[in-house]
Chain A
């Protein structure tokens, strides 16, 4: 990486290149402070500012901002309540809603022109680089550290909710105990199988943060890469140059741009729904429907 010309510069017109490799690079001279952390902070500030503005003076007859925030929260609460149940919903909702709002905002933030295409790299003159090697902005969810942080925070809250609902012993019984209302000798005869199933369940739970984070990271990073490849298609594959290369870098990614808008919403939904289902599975009392 060449930082001899550490200037903020525009790359080609190829949009949304999550350059800097699969790992989010640190910004020049800022050590661990990566471009994805910067975007996470921007997204955080944007979300908090908007919600604060919308909810600062709450009125019975809402304004546009309050109405929008109420619409989102009411919709999300209904969905969460539908999955985890009325009893657990008040405890689970804040985290699940935070995850959904943060992830969808971060995913869509990555589609803003300039994210991934403005940054540092070897160049010949001011504001001109051959290729961006360290983008200033990288979608927060295209960084495994962020998606893993989301998953880990969820797992901690999930554990707290589960233990509060069932207790420590209840949680252990829920995982290792007999299922299907077995009683008598059969229950004890099948205990080794239930304990074995419980162990598999524990391994499954342990891998949940990994699967959650890798799924989100993989989809968003792949989307960014796809858009980057489509942007460079005319130049790299068809050998176009000049205005034709510029035009192709704008036209080719457009269909995939719409797809990424969908993927961004879909991945936020999948992440949140899975979290809700995990909470539901671990807080269901014996005798309730799974």
Chain B
């Protein structure tokens, strides 16, 4: 130790000066530790936590956003499906109505045609009957004039029947 003390004294070691320097170092140490390092480290820690919380919030928001997007997508998909289903249903319904209406129209048309045909046939028959009657009357008139004989009802009926039987229109 004497050797060390000798070396130190050779380099200017002196107890009072040394103690004064120790006091200065301790003062710096305690004041910096209390008023600088403590608050700054606490601030850095607080900021680190705040950043961490911020990052967590961002992650949470991103997750929520992704969920919301998924939900929106699901709703859109469902809406699309509903819309497609409704369109298909409407198409089927329209198709069915159209078929029904077409059938009804065809039926109506057929009924109209049938009626027209029936009316035409009745009219034709009526006309034919009228014609036969007129023809029979003409034959009776002609027979009466040719023979100069007044034809009675029996003759007229017989002539009419014969005429009608022979006339084919």
Segment at the A interface, from B43-51, B83-91, B117-125: B43-51
Total A-B pairs in contact (CB under 8 Å)? 122
Within 130-188 of A, Cβ neighbours of B (below 8 Å) are at: 140, 143-146, 148-150, 152-153
B58 in the interface (beta carbon within 8 A): no
B146 in the interface (beta carbon within 8 A): no
A223 → B minimal CB distance (Å): 16
Interface size counted on chain A using CB atoms at 8 A: 47
B58 → A minimal CB distance (Å): 18
A84 in the interface (beta carbon within 8 A): no
**Among candidates B12, B26, B44, residue contacting A24 with C-beta atoms closer than 8 Å:** B12
CA distance A145 to B21 in the complex (A): 7
Q: Are A48 and B28 in contact (CB under 8 A)?
A: yes
Interface size counted on chain B using CB atoms at 8 A: 34
- Chain A residues closer than 8 Å to B10, beta-carbon distance: 22
Q: Are B4 and A73 in contact (CB under 8 A)?
A: no
Q: Are A60 and B50 in contact (CB under 8 A)?
A: yes
* Chain B facing A: main interface SS: helix
Q: Are A69 and B22 in contact (CB under 8 A)?
A: no
Q: With A51-B36, A143-B12, A148-B8 given, is the CB distance from A153 to B22 under 8 Å?
A: yes
CA distance A144 to B22 in the complex (A): 12
**Among candidates B13, B21, B37, B43, residue contacting A58 with C-beta atoms closer than 8 Å:** B43
Q: Are A145 and B18 in contact (CB under 8 A)?
A: yes
Q: Are B20 and A210 in contact (CB under 8 A)?
A: no
CB nearest neighbor in A for B44: A74
Binding site for B on A (CB under 8 A): 21-24, 31-34, 36-37, 40-41, 44, 47-48, 51-52, 54-55, 58, 60, 62, 69-70, 73-74, 77, 93-95, 97-98, 101-102, 140, 143-146, 148-150, 152-153, 210, 214, 217
